[in-house]
Amino acid sequence: MHQIQTEETRMKDSEDELTESLYWEACRITGMICLNLADRGQQTDRNRLIRELVTLVKASEKENEVCHPSLIFAIEQLRGDDPDEVRLHS
């Protein structure tokens, strides 16, 4: 029984680390978008960030046929969407 609990604890810790990693990567990418827009003298708002992230997702999928999960996570957070219902069109 103790070994099962230890295995469950390790799996939970691993999931927590993945979620934290996705969160920080999403923050990093979103921050880079904000800095880039500011550098160009452009305004930043939630909808603009979502559009920029969607553009990155589409470019990533076109180039690599996949996209980094942190991009999807950032879009979900900004939209307040249910993760299972994220749409990549605005």
Residue 17 pLDDT exceeds 70: yes
Residue 6 pLDDT exceeds 90: no
Give residue 15's pLDDT: 78
Give residue 82's pLDDT: 62
pTM: 0.71
The answer to whether the Cα torsion of 60, 65, 68, 69 is positive or negative is positive
> Are the beta carbons of 12 and 6 closer than 8 angstroms?
no
What's the pLDDT tens digit per position in 30-73?
999 999 999 999 999 999 999 999 999 999 999 998 888 999 99
Residues in the chain: 90
Give residue 20's pLDDT: 85
